[in-house]
């Protein structure tokens, strides 16, 4: 069972943690309840443990895809409709405000 020693950076309360989450995760301090990061250096873990491979995703497909003509037209229409709805709302507010005068 893995046990690591932690010291709270907020209230400097020292305690040990059984079955700690992976380094970088945050655990609440038992004394003050504030969160602290689990240190990357763990005494219970052997130093020669193989490091996890870096997250290397062969995402060759470019994220910026060129918009097709149809998509451009559709986006323009959506924007026009949104502008129209906004205009109607502004008009309705104006009518209500002027009606109270
Ligand atoms: Zn604390």
29, 35 contact by CB (below 8 A): yes
- The predicted-structure confidence for 10-64, as pLDDT tens digits, reads as follows 999 999 988 888 888 999 999 999 999 988 764 444 545 556 556 655 555 556 6
What pLDDT does residue 19 have?
Answer: 86
pTM, two decimal places: 0.38
Long-range pairs, 10-18, Cβ under 8 A, ≥24:
10/34, 10/36
- C-alpha distances in angstroms, 77 versus 7, 49, 72? 57, 57, 9
Q: How far is the CA of 42 from the centre of ligand 1 (A)?
A: 19
Q: In angstroms, what is the span from residue 35 Cα to ligand 1's centroid?
A: 8
Ligand 1 centroid distance, CA of 7 (Å) = 8
Q: Determine the distance separating the centroid of ligand 1 and the alpha carbon of 14, expressed in angstroms.
A: 8
């Amino acid at each position: 069972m893995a046990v690591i020693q932690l010291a709270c950076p907020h209230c400097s309360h020292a305690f040990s943690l059984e079955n700690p989450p992976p380094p970088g995760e945050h655990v609440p301090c038992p004394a003050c309840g504030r969160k602290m990061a689990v240190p990357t250096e763990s005494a219970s873990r052997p130093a020669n443990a193989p490091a996890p491979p870096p997250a290397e995703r062969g995402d060759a497909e470019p994220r910026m895809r060129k918009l097709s003509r149809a998509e451009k037209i559709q986006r323009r229409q959506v924007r026009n409709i949104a502008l129209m709805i906004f205009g109607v709302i502004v008009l309705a507010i104006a009518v209500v405000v002027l009606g109270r005068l």
